[in-house]
A and B are shown apart, each in its own frame.
Chain A
Amino acid sequence: MVKPADVVVAPAIEMRGITKRYPGVVANDHIDLVVRPGEIHALLGENGAGKTTLMNVLYGLATPDEGEILLNGDPVHISGPADAISRGIDMVHQHFMLVPVLSVAENILLGLEPMSGPIFIDRNAARRRIVELGRRFGFEIDPDARVGSLSVGWQQRVEILKALYRNTRILVLDEPTAVLTPQETEEIFAVLRNLAAEGHSIVFISHKLYEVLEIADRITVIRRGRVVGERLPAETNEEDLAELMVGRGVELTIDRGTSHPGPVLLRVENLRVKDDRGNEVVRGVSMEIRAGEILGIAGVAGNGQDELVEALYGLRRPSGGSVTLRDAKVTGRSPRSMNEAGVGYVPADRQRFGLVLPFPIADNIVLTSYYRAPYARGIRRNDEAILAAAVESIDEFDVRTRSAEASARTLSGGNQQKVVVAREFGRDLSLLILDQPTRGLDVGSIEFIHRQVIGKRDAGTAVLLVSAELDEVLEMADRIAVMYRGEIVAVVDGRTADKNDVGILMATGGHGRPEAGQTGVAS
């Protein structure tokens, strides 16, 4: 790995005094950023801190109100993404911009079709170059593989190759590890290090502290549109970075205390669920959760977790098996009946399921209870009671808003999730189902929500925590069930589990290693 040397060489990127105002907010307030050639530069900040705006400025998607950009020492005006790409700047978005039905080579060549000159692309030469580029940075890729059949980690590599193919010198990666397993993360880090060693500059956007410490040569922390600090990984640590990022001391790992599991509240037996296309994606899951216990489900996204959770809450009819809650069979009951039976549910996609974005916060607080007293009197809504409940919840769950009547859309991601949490946590529960409860949230909001979950556990609720974030499961769960291809392939103790072992189980289902003998039914 090349360390940035103290030689006088023009920085690959220098952004000076970048200011970008939107009505009512200053997204970037005189931000200075210097990225040297061959440097992996982490841009760290909470959601809404201005990281994305800054990168949009660099990528030509936003025009700064003030400030200038220098590339290799020359001031430039970047008029748009095409201009940015022609100057050797490319971006890998969090959501991949790939066409799943096309091959790797076709995806990479997409948009490079010659506008003039020879009509035909020399596909064979292109495929050779793709293979060669891959090898140069440490991986073998089949240019004819269909992108849709590749794992998420490999799709990301295709995105990176796409940029390299266009002779990118400066690569911006927006939260590249959000969708990866720990092993895939390590692999992509190796690729990035190779890139940097060849002199590419990499801007790595993240809010995961340990990752930033591991991969970055230099870290710039942004809070509320301003640069609040620049650090070298050697001279800082997670606590220091978290404090810079949030502006106050933050407990990174919440003290989960001791749990006191009581009687079994939820019993799932041999549950089978089909997805929308009719494929059985939950294949005979059995598990038990006790009162006052958190069962975590670890798994790479798309291994049946979503369908499992939807079946438990009645949003999806199981094709087999049974669900028992407090000794009552609840298999295939409706969401309303599950809700009334004392089940709280925080869905993975809060903007699609958990909230009605154009509605006031107050309406969202009563979204599952609007038809009951005191929120309804007969068929009439009781607006005073709804508003009063909302004001109380907003206060109790620390939702930052100017009014209970503001629409949910106006809230930041963390505050949106707090509204969902306020609604689902604000009553006595037998079972609490959490699907990706902190996805995309900043450390401050994560800390808050984790505290609330621990509080519910201690109040005797059975908690099911599904998360693609392995660290979250390791931190919170008393027991961890690893889900792989619709089955629970292992259950491990949450306090003693080893991150690597669980990661391997997640990626291979335990077939990749001999010691998969710990496979068993979660009970």
Chain B
Amino acid sequence: MTRESPSARGALARIAREAWLVGGLPVLSIVAALVVGSVIILASELLLPNHAFDLLLPIKAYLALLDGSLGKESAIVNTLVSTTPLLLGGLAVAIGFKAGLFNIGAEGQFLMGALGAVAVGVAVSGAPPVVAIPVALGGGMLAGAAWGFIPGFLKAISGAHEVVTTIMLNYVARQVLAWAVTGPLAVPQSPSPVTYAVGNAAYPILVGRNGHLGILVAAAAVFVIWWLLYRTTLGFEIRTVGASSDAARYAGMRPRLLIILTMSLAGLLAGTAGAGVILGINHQMNSTFDTTVGFDSIAVALLARSNPLGVPFAALLFGAMRAGSGLMQIRAGIPVELIDVIQAMILLFLVAGPVLQRAFRLRGVRSDLGAPPPVPSEATV
């Protein structure tokens, strides 16, 4: 067809508008962050002595990043593996947003999930995998859920704000972990504090060198959480509490109970992420076990605008950048920390969305496509 009929054009325009409304701001934020990243690369070149200025270095760096994350099968598997905890963590934060809660505690919940998985996993390491894996995973999930339950419970009974309590519980989790690894779970007479391995509870490798079962667990979680939120009465209650807790009370729902439940569920998801890293990658825990998943998850959830179906895309983006950053450092000489800068920039632009829109409208984005996307009300704190 050489010319589209008006109705087809109308349909296309409508689809484009819908896509813009959903993804416009996140996409613009990513683009803007990459531009800022280029400027930083160029600026850093100027500061380096004995370095020939290369205007194309940012492009070289980004191509290396792309190559390192998607260039070949092993790169893709690496990307999936680093996406997995971000995806589960992103869901943990997103479901909190849906209920009007800002869960900054994904980090603590992740760590407790990892601890739960290693503690239970070591105990069942001799059992057949078909028993050991679910039991160890369950241990991690429960530990994470318990760590989410606490701030939910505190908020429900006393109104203590979850931002404060989850941040504090992150520190507590770190200390509990250090105590467990050096104390009750430590291998005796080991030169450095470390636990036993989880043995048969380890996730099987499904693809490539390191593509473990956790990838499927995370994928299943996306569906389960989407289904829960949009296809069940419980999800309706969670979303109602998030949108208007007064209306929820009026409608006969129990906001306090739902807050406890949602926080526990969030903890369970983050705990699953922590369990996945232990059972799929580390197989044991040493005292240096740590994570940046907690804060990266907030970025993922914001980028996905708390939509469970958007979380995988946002997590993939961040996972790919993590996976590809090594090659970027080797090929272009750009430190992996640039990824942190780009992530931070994406967040900054997302939050400063309205400003960004105005700037882009000035550059002549068609007005019918430039309608402001709805503010992610669940994501505002």
Contact = CB atoms under 8 A, between A and B. Distances in A.
A335 B233 contact: no
A339 B233 CA distance: 18
Contacts of B247: 352-356, 367
Interface in B235-254: 235-236, 239-240, 243-244, 246-247, 249-252
Contacts of A23: 371
Q: Which 4 A-B pairs have the closest CB atoms?
A: A336-B252, A353-B250, A335-B252, A367-B251
B236 A315 contact: no
B359 interface: no
A381 B236 contact: yes
B59 to A, nearest CB: 39
Interface string A1-35: 00000000000000000000001000000000000
Interface string B353-381: 00000000000000000010000010000
Given A356-B244, A359-B240, A315 B231 contact: no
B175 interface: no
A358 interface: yes
Given A335-B249, A347-B250, A368-B252, A379 B244 contact: no
22 contacts: A315-B249, A335-B249, A345-B250, A352-B247, A354-B250, A357-B244, A358-B377, A359-B239, A359-B243, A363-B236, A368-B250, A368-B251, A368-B252, A370-B233, A370-B251, A379-B232, A379-B233, A379-B234, A381-B231, A381-B232, A381-B235, A381-B236
Contacts of A339: 252
A223 B255 CA distance: 42
A379 B247 CA distance: 21
Interface string A294-319: 00000000000000000001010000
- Most chain B CB within 10 A, of A347, A354, A363, A367, is at A367
B246 A353 contact: yes
A313 B251 CA distance: 11
A71 interface: no
Interface residues of B, number: 18
A139 interface: no
A368 B251 CA distance: 5
A322 interface: no
Nearest to B241: A356
B367 to A, nearest CB: 9
Contacts of A345: 250
A334 B233 contact: no
Interface string A100-125: 00000000000000000000000000
B232 to A, nearest CB: 5
Interface string A207-240: 0000000000000000000000000000000000
A335 B250 contact: yes
A402 interface: no
A371 interface: yes
Contact of B232 (A352, A354, A380): A380
Contacts, number: 61
A133 interface: no
A389 interface: no
A356 B243 contact: yes
A504 interface: no
A97 B297 CA distance: 41
Interface in B154-188: none
Contacts of B234: 379
Given A370-B236, A379-B232, A352 B246 contact: yes
A376 B252 contact: no
A345 B250 CA distance: 9
A60 B141 CA distance: 57
A345 B231 CA distance: 27
Given A357-B243, A358-B377, A381 B250 contact: no
B245 to A, nearest CB: 10
Nearest to A423: B251
Nearest to B244: A356
Given A358-B377, A376-B233, A315 B371 contact: no
Interface string A329-373: 000001111010000010100001111111100010001101100
A434 B233 CA distance: 27
- Most chain A CB within 10 A, of B246, B250, B371, is at B250
A370 B232 CA distance: 10
B307 to A, nearest CB: 13
Interface string A371-404: 1000010011101000000000000000000000
A355 B239 CA distance: 13
Contacts of B239: 359
Nearest to B232: A379
A278 B90 CA distance: 41
Given A315-B249, A370-B236, 19 more contacts: A23-B371, A313-B250, A315-B250, A335-B249, A335-B251, A336-B252, A339-B252, A352-B246, A353-B246, A353-B249, A353-B250, A354-B247, A355-B247, A359-B239, A363-B236, A367-B247, A367-B251, A370-B251, A371-B233
Nearest to A350: B247
Given A23-B371, A347-B250, A368-B251, A356 B240 contact: yes
Contacts of B251: 335, 367-368, 370
A134 B148 CA distance: 60
A379 B243 CA distance: 21
Contacts of A336: 252
